[in-house]
Structure 1
């Protein structure tokens, strides 16, 4: 499969703007491991090879285990995720699949049970950001690197 286009060359300034928002989200203080799990799970759902390649590598560099990376598709049944990770992963799935789930109250309330409202807002922004990156990479067929 070949790349279709380079969005960032075709729309000058887009990468800088998106990176500015990503830098803002990165600065919110979300746990780095949790952030990578969210990015990987959203990218799995969306089928974004470029982002999966990038974020699984980033997670490994941060010390994430192969078991937890591979288990993300089955996190509901896997015993090695914390309550906070489970709540964030459920929220990730609901936000990523918003057209079908509309983020159910039980998912939102489960997140509020383990995170502050500010943290839920921060995680929601992080989920929105990775979904933006996924959609751009998938549409343009951005190829995974190495």
Structure 2
């Protein structure tokens, strides 16, 4: 696949806004683990190898185990490898990423509400939206693995 365009050069203000959202999320009280699980799972669903590559490496740097990273895509079948809180976040991530299929179910929302405040849930939703945005930019522009977008 050949890269289509340099997004940074073509839309610098859009990239700046995207980075602004990332800066906001970096200050969120959500754990690094939750943030990386969101990024990995959404990127898997979207087929974004670029982002899977980055965020699995980031998760490892943050102390995540290889076993858990390998099992993110099969988290429902992974037994107690993931906490109930993480499972609720992963379910929410999947439903928001695939929102065109069935929307966000009351069950997924209620499950995450059992662990997080409304403010934290807003941050989770923003994190899911952000990684979906990055995935779509990378996939649309065909950014090669290893090349910097920012």
Aligned-partner Cα distance in 1 for 2:2–2:65 = 31
Structure 2 unmatched runs, 5+ = none
Aligned-partner Cα distance in 2 for 1:52–1:142 = 13
Aligned-partner Cα distance in 2 for 1:129–1:12 = 17
The reply to whether residue 138 of structure 1 matches residue 147 of structure 2 is no
Matches within 5 A, 1:120-131: 120-131=121-132
Q: Is the 8 A contact 1:49 1:143 kept in 2?
A: no
Structure 1: 4+ residue segments shifted above 3 A: none
The reply to whether residue 32 of structure 1 matches residue 32 of structure 2 is yes
Instruction: Please give the TM-score of this superposition, normalised by the length of structure 2.
Output: 0.93
Superposition CA RMSD, Å: 1.1
Does 84-93 or 26-35 show the bigger shift? 26-35
Matches within 5 A, 1:94-109: 94-109=95-110
Matches within 5 A, 1:1-146: 1-78=1-78, 79-145=80-146
Structure 1 unmatched runs, 5+ = none
3-state SS of 1:75 partner: helix
Aligned-partner Cα distance in 1 for 2:47–2:129 = 16
> Per-residue deviation at 1:13?
2.2
3-state SS of 1:59 partner: helix
Aligned-partner Cα distance in 2 for 1:33–1:63 = 9
